Amino acid sequence: MTMDMWLAVPSICTDLDKDDEIHTVVLRGAGETAFVAGADISQFGDRRPGGGGYDRATGAAFTAIETMAKPVIALIHGFCIGGGLALAAAADIRYAADDAQFGLPPARLGIGYSAAGTGKLVDLLGPAVTKEIIYTANWYGAETALRWGLVNHVVAKSELDAYVAEQAEVIASRAPLSQRAAKLAIADHLRAPEQRNPGLVTAAIEACATSEDYAEGVRAFMAKRKPIFRGR
């Protein structure tokens, strides 16, 4: 990931969120060698902490993914290292190929890992696993990542793309307002108590009850057919 790539992420996320034809977002690397093999270390000299806004750029990218209203799936082939691991952690759901490798290299480079990134891993994995990943700077395989709860499922490499496409279709067929309310509630729960916004979460939940989608869901259930949700 270069600086230009980090800077492009927020606007891309905004465009995807605004597109009513898109219901589920899949985040992946080009090809099947890597999800993201890490940040461009050659740029660290003048852009790492304190120079060039590197941390601000990466932080904005992670926040943009985390705060998308739509469900975001990380499809992980091969290497998922450093900034790649942080990008995957920002997604809602992570599906990995059986060849996936995960790791954080700051302790190999003498870099301090960001407080926000560390906190995100603690939320996902707990403090002990987070310490092992950061202290050792080792790479870990897909089955270890699954055992730790870093990924939701591990799939044979040849089957991963089709598996994720199927899961994305299922998620896209469900009620968007219900998913949005759940995403807000989960994110709010993970915040410190003084930073929570229960009013916003309650409003999102109550909006479901008065929505066209709720009426459609009831009609479809009574008629024993699949509902067609429109997110309103």
pLDDT tens profile 76-115: 999 999 999 999 999 999 999 999 999 999 899 888 888 8
Does the reported pTM lie above 0.85? yes
**C-alpha to C-alpha distance for 128 and 138, rounded to whole angstroms:** 15
**C-alpha to C-alpha distance for 141 and 216, rounded to whole angstroms:** 44
For the chain, give the mean pLDDT: 92
More confident residue, 52 or 62: 62
Asked whether residue 13 carries a pLDDT value surpassing 90, the answer given is yes
In sequence order, which residues have a C-beta less than 8 Å from that of residue 208 and are 6 or more positions away? 175, 177, 178, 181, 214
Domain 3-171 classification at class level: alpha beta
Q: Specify the pLDDT at position 82.
A: 92
Q: Specify the pLDDT at position 46.
A: 56
Q: Specify the pLDDT at position 109.
A: 86
Lowest mean pLDDT among 27-41, 78-92, 143-157, 161-175: 27-41
What are the beta bridge partners of residue 73? 26, 93
What percent of the chain has a predicted confidence (pLDDT) above 70?
A: 94
What's the start-to-end Cα distance of the chain, in Å? 36
Q: Specify the pLDDT at position 54.
A: 81
Bridge pairing between strands 79-81 and 34-36: parallel
Q: Specify the pLDDT at position 50.
A: 47
